[in-house]
A and B are shown apart, each in its own frame.
Chain A
Amino acid sequence: MKIVKYEDIVLKVKLACLQMTTDLPQDVQNKLEMMAMQEDGQLAKQMLDIIIENANIARQENRPMCQDTGMVVCFVKMGQNIQIEGGLLADAINEGVSLGYEEGYLRKSVVNNPIDRINTLDNTPAIIHYDIVEDDVLIIEVAAKGFGSENMSQLKMFPPAAGIAGMKEFVKQVVIDAGPNPCPPIIVGIGLGGDFEKAALLAKKAAIRNLDEVNPNEKLLALEKELEVEINNLGIGPQGFGGKTTTLKVNIEMFATHIAGLPVAVNINCHAARHIKVVL
């Protein structure tokens, strides 16, 4: 049995909020720089240079890289042998978010519900997903998800006959429909299989996955690479002005599904792909 203190979770989540909104993760920065070198459109190259310069200013001057500092999404991986002392895990996460968004002068973009739309003033509640695992680990993957890209996401329940070809066409159509709106270059997170809500959850996991992570499933890895090339051949380019760099990476997460179904969810993330791993 390992004991984790409530206050430690609050503090680490707070620091994660402060860091991820001003310090673009290195995996994303590296990929942007690589794509900027390969970009052959003139305006497109300039847009990528501005995006990289912006990330550098944000890091050096401790300014949020994007004004949409997002809604916080957490994927919690908690061992069965962890005991949290001092309060509820969700409360600790929300308290960390509240403190981080206040201290960092981050934008509070959360409203209480879609009908009354009253700002909660501290960017809570965060959206929290739990995964109970073995041992005594407690890992919280924290992401700040902007809604310019979130609004361009889609889900479709295909019949199995649609196959991978149908899935690929759908993914590309989602990217075409989104066009300039989600601030390309984007990260395309795909959830394949499961049921309706599982597909969406997988897509979110894929959208915030570290870009350096190599998919251990060879079929998925090949599919990710194929889709990356095909999406970058669409010509949408950085900011949708035309160019080679439409996506930085395609990530796919997969799960078992029903004999009658082929759920496909596409969750788009912008180039300000803010994600950070908190280990307690």
Chain B
Amino acid sequence: MATIKLETPLTIDKIKDLHSGDQVLLSGIIYTGRDAAHKRFIEVLEKNEDLPFDVQGQVIYYVGPTPTKPNQAFGSGGPTTSYRMDAYTPPLINKGLIGMIGKGKRNDEVKAALKGHAVYFAAVGGAAALMGKCVIKAEVIAYEDLQAEAVRRLEVKDLPLIVVNDIKGNDLYVEGPQSYLKEHK
């Protein structure tokens, strides 16, 4: 299985050939945000105010890292479960968000919003020490009061990801187990 190297910011052209099940190494700038930050994103959008960063072409990583130790760029940071962000996700995709990194199933509304517009990647749940080491630089850019849930700008190098929902409407969480069972009857 080939591994695809991707650099942010992403464009439709860069993600159009990604297929669910593809393994990706992602490099460049990404942003963090989970439950509490997403709640604020939507409050901001409802008031027609600006988000803390322009989401156009950007990727949000659903992560609440451990505190950074001295002499390290970042703590441990694996994905949190994505369904908790489902309610907040379609409005962000409408604003141009092109990628999300998390783990676990998305609901039908998110899957519909992804189709043709954005890609949902999984990072390996629980492999937080390994993924934390892919972060070269991290800085809090908004909502510092949320601590682990604050919005951070991360510079990552070769963050290992798997494409779950591609822009064509495929879903690895449906097709992966199905094809495994078919091959191993």
Residues of A within 8 A of B (CB): 40-44, 46-47, 50-51, 53-54, 57-58, 61, 63-69, 105-109, 119, 148, 151, 179-183, 234-237, 239-244, 270-272
Q: Which residue of A lies closest to B132 (CB)?
A: A63
Q: Closest CB-CB distance, B50 to chain A, in whole Å?
A: 26
Q: A67 to chain B: which residues have CB within 8 Å?
A: 63-66, 75-78, 80, 128, 132, 148
Q: Closest CB-CB distance, B149 to chain A, in whole Å?
A: 9
Distance between Cα atoms of A180 and B171 in the complex (Å) = 12
Contact A50 B130 (CB under 8 A): yes
Q: Closest CB-CB distance, B54 to chain A, in whole Å?
A: 26
Contact B128 A66 (CB under 8 A): yes
Kindly supply a per-residue 1/0 record for chain B positions 99-119, scoring 1 wherever the CB is within 8 Å of any chain A CB and 0 otherwise: 000011100000000000000
Known contacts being A54-B127, A66-B78, is A183 close to B103, with CB within 8 Å?
yes
Contact B180 A242 (CB under 8 A): yes
Q: Closest CB-CB distance, A48 to chain B, in whole Å?
A: 10
Q: A235 to chain B: which residues have CB within 8 Å?
A: 177-178, 180-181, 184
Contact B148 A50 (CB under 8 A): no
Counting residue pairs across A and B whose Cβ atoms lie within 8 Å, the total is: 154
Q: A180 to chain B: which residues have CB within 8 Å?
A: 103-105, 122, 125, 173
Q: Closest CB-CB distance, A235 to chain B, in whole Å?
A: 4
Which one, A42, A46, A179, A242, contacts B178 given CB within 8 A? A242
Q: Which residue of A lies closest to B148 (CB)?
A: A107
Which one, A42, A46, A64, contacts B75 given CB within 8 A? A64
Q: A240 to chain B: which residues have CB within 8 Å?
A: 104-105, 173, 176-177
Distance between Cα atoms of A106 and B69 in the complex (Å) = 10
> Is B59 interfacial (CB-CB < 8 Å)?
no
Which of A66, A181, A241, A271 gathers the greatest number of chain B CB atoms within 10 Å? A241
Q: Closest CB-CB distance, B157 to chain A, in whole Å?
A: 16
Known contacts being A67-B77, A181-B103, A241-B162, is A51 close to B127, with CB within 8 Å?
yes
Distance between Cα atoms of A241 and B104 in the complex (Å) = 10
> Is B126 interfacial (CB-CB < 8 Å)?
yes
16 pairs, A vs B, C-beta closer than 8 Å: A50-B160, A51-B126, A57-B130, A64-B75, A67-B65, A105-B67, A107-B75, A179-B173, A180-B173, A237-B180, A239-B103, A239-B122, A240-B173, A242-B177, A242-B178, A270-B125
Contact A151 B81 (CB under 8 A): yes
Contact A148 B66 (CB under 8 A): no
Distance between Cα atoms of A148 and B123 in the complex (Å) = 14
Q: Closest CB-CB distance, A193 to chain B, in whole Å?
A: 30
